[in-house]
Amino acid sequence: MKALVVGASGQLGSALLALLQARGIPAVGTYCSHPRQGSAVLDLRDREAVRRSFAGLEPDLVFLTQNAPGGVDFCEDHPDQAAAVLVGGTRHVLEAAAPRRAKVVLFSSDYVFDGESGPYAEEAPPSPISVYGDAKLAAEEAVQAYPHGFLIARTTAVFSWSPGTKNIAMQIHERLGSRQAFRAPNDQWCNPTLAEHLAAACLDLALSDARGTFNVVGRDWMPRYEMAAALARAMSLDASLIQSVATSELRQRARRPLKGGLTTDKLRRALGVEPPTMEESLRRFSAKFRQEVTHA
């Protein structure tokens, strides 16, 4: 078996490559705008480039981790760019993967829901309220038509100690390390999800030949403000600099699902283990943080 990680320079792609290497599974990665040593450049919008890349690499298992350019708010003002990467890029990957009958794992989001009645189970009807959510749902629908085996992993609030990325933990480290305040919404609910847990659970699902849609998140459900404060404490930073605010005060360009988040009953039944609590995830996060900071 050979695995391909599309979007290997991001926090999830990096976690997947490290895990695949640790398990002895041959794997290669690609990146688009953020170079990663040992990975190949690939723009998902270029259909022929995707086809050539797959023909040369011949993967049996594909992890589609590349996310939207510029983030959720950027997508709101640039819907064509969001669709080109998240939807068009997904279709290009599926076309290129089909001749080898490779299994495709797509990473999606609780942003496919409106946030009126979360946390959501896999079978809840989607109702996105942003361009980003619309694009994620369209990518899911494209994958659901793929005949050679697929997984859709919905997740939310992913964090890790991953320098060079913009995940919430790195933002907090940068802001609080400079004694600047960090505003976090007290009315946006989520399941904090350690990137390493997300990578391991999805690899286990793929290797067990599970198919369909799975929520892959941490066990605990909390406001993003509580998550931010916990991350600050885990990095021995001044958590009083985390400011609790309403979403309306942030004036975010795209609407966010407020009562979002995802249930994990299906994941637990499939893998036979409970997802980690926030406390358990923070222990792993802190160990990596302290090891890398000490040796920096």
pLDDT of amino acid 295? 66
pLDDT of amino acid 132? 98
pLDDT of amino acid 67? 87
pLDDT of amino acid 275? 98
Residues 6 or more apart whose CB falls under 8 angstroms from that of 193 comprise 155, 156, 157, 158, 159, 216, 217, 218, 281
pLDDT of amino acid 296? 58
Cross-strand bridge partners of residue 242: 182
Average per-residue pLDDT for the chain: 96
**Two tokens, residue 23:** 């398990």
Q: Is the pLDDT of residue 292 over 70?
A: yes
Distance CA 36, CA 25 (A): 19
Superfamily holding 3-294:
NAD(P)-binding Rossmann-like Domain (3.40.50.720)
Q: Which runs of consecutive H residues, i.e. helices, occur in 23-78?
A: 47-57, 71-77
pLDDT digits over 274-284, tens only? 999 999 999 99
pLDDT digits over 237-290, tens only? 999 999 999 999 999 999 999 999 999 999 999 999 999 999 999 999 999 999
DSSP per-residue string spanning 158-214: EE---TTS--HHHHHHHHHHTT--EEEESS-EE--EEHHHHHHHHHHHHHTT--EEE
CB 64 within 8 A of CB 93: yes
Q: Which of 25, 36, 21, 7 is nearest to 206 (CA)?
A: 25
pLDDT digits over 152-167, tens only? 999 999 999 999 899 9
Distance CA 174, CA 167 (A): 11
**Two tokens, residue 272:** 């036979």
If you search the block for the tokens 């080898």, which residue do you land on? 100
**What is the DSSP code (8-state) at residue 30?**
E
Give the H or E element holding residue 269.
helix 265-271
Q: Please state the length of the chain.
A: 296
Look at the pTM and tell me if it is higher than 0.85: yes
Give the H or E element holding residue 155.
strand 150-155
Domain layout of the chain by residue ranges = 3-294
pLDDT digits over 67-88, tens only? 888 899 999 999 999 999 999 9
pLDDT of amino acid 273? 95
Backbone angles phi, psi at 225, to 5 degrees: -60, -45
